[in-house]
């Protein structure tokens, strides 16, 4: 079973602050890394799927980077808004192509107006 | 138009009963999944089907049996329900296996009393 760690566990920021979280995963046999956003009482929503070392992806104010050699990914949110409040999950698939996602515990972000 | 839909959204039932949760996706995806959100809020994969064939079968009690009548549907049948089966169950689909994002249903909250 892959060991996926996310930090911090939770984060409280003020509206307009920029923030970032970390996902650590085993670097051996890397296949891909997924990031999901999960709002309370809703379902997880995919943000990014990253496969290449040095990948950097962006969606609006959210971006992510990937380092497969050292086994980590950063998710950045620029100018946080209250609607960004959610749990952010990373998930590398175990077993490669089967897409068997192993989710981390997530980082709970609360953005206060 | 909901992409991945699960029914029912809530299910309350007594111990020992048999129940089913249905999942349908209208995205034309080849791959479908069942995840369980456990008491610690982790999302853990249970099963995955690709083009109606079982490709992931995690260590779950054999009281849980998935059925995929066609690639747009993946139902979860649970026999002899136990208190510990109470959880939120999420269905998801992805275009194929490999590094592709998963689209989640809204979840089914199962409560066994």
Please write down the HEC assignment for all residues of chain B. CCCEEEECCEEEECCCCCEEEEEEECCCCCEEEEEEECCCCCEEEEEEEECCEEEEECCCCCCEEEEEEECCEEEEEECCCCHHHCEEEEEEEECCCCCCCCEECCCEEEEEC
Confidence of residue B33 (pLDDT cuts 50, 70, 90): very high
Is residue A1 over pLDDT 70?
no
- In degrees, to the nearest 5, what angle opens at C-alpha A89 toward C-alphas A31 and A84? 135
pLDDT greater than 80 at residue A97: no
| Cα dist from B14 to B10, B35, B75, B89, B93, whole Å | 14, 22, 20, 17, 30
- Closest CA of chain B from A43, distance in Å: 5
With beta carbons under 8 A apart, name residues in chain B contacting A51.
99
**pLDDT computed for residue A2 by the predictor:** 66
Residue of higher predicted confidence among A3 and B7: B7
Q: How confident is residue A50, by pLDDT bands cut at 50, 70 and 90?
A: very high
Q: What is the pLDDT of residue B105?
A: 96
Task: Share the mean pLDDT of chain B.
Answer: 93
- What's the rounded mean pLDDT across residues B3-17? 97
Residues of chain A in contact with residue B43, where contact means CB-CB under 8 angstroms, are 44, 89, 101, 103
Dihedral (CA of B98, B88, A21, A85) sign: positive
What is the rounded average pLDDT for all residues in chain A? Answer: 92
The CB density around residue A35, as the number of other CB atoms within 10 Å, is 23
Mean pLDDT of B77-89: 96
Identify the pLDDT of residue A96: 66
Residue of B nearest to A96 (CA): B98
* Pairing verdict, β A107-112 and A10-14: parallel
């Amino acid at each position: 079973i892959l060991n996926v760690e996310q930090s911090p566990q939770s984060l409280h920021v003020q509206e307009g602050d920029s923030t970032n979280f970390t996902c650590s995963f085993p670097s051996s046999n890397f296949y891909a890394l997924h990031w999901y956003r999960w709002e309370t009482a809703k379902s997880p929503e995919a943000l990014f799927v990253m496969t290449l070392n040095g990948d950097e992806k962006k969606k609006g104010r959210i971006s992510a980077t990937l380092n497969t050699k050292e086994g980590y990914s950063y998710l950045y949110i620029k100018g946080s808004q209250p609607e960004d409040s959610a749990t952010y999950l990373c998930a590398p698939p175990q077993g490669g192509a089967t897409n068997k996602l192993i989710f981390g515990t997530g980082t709970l972000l609360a953005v206060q107006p | 138009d909901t992409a991945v839909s699960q029914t029912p959204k809530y299910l309350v039932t007594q111990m020992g009963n048999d129940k089913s949760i249905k999942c349908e996706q209208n995205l034309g995806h080849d791959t479908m999944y069942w995840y369980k959100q456990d008491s610690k809020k982790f999302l853990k994969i249970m099963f995955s089907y690709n083009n109606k064939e079982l490709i992931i079968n995690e260590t779950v009690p054999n009281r849980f049996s998935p059925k995929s009548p066609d690639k747009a549907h993946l139902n979860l049948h649970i026999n002899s329900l136990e208190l510990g089966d109470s959880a939120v169950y999420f269905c998801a689909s992805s275009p194929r296996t490999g590094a592709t994002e998963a689209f989640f249903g809204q979840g089914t909250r199962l409560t066994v009393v």
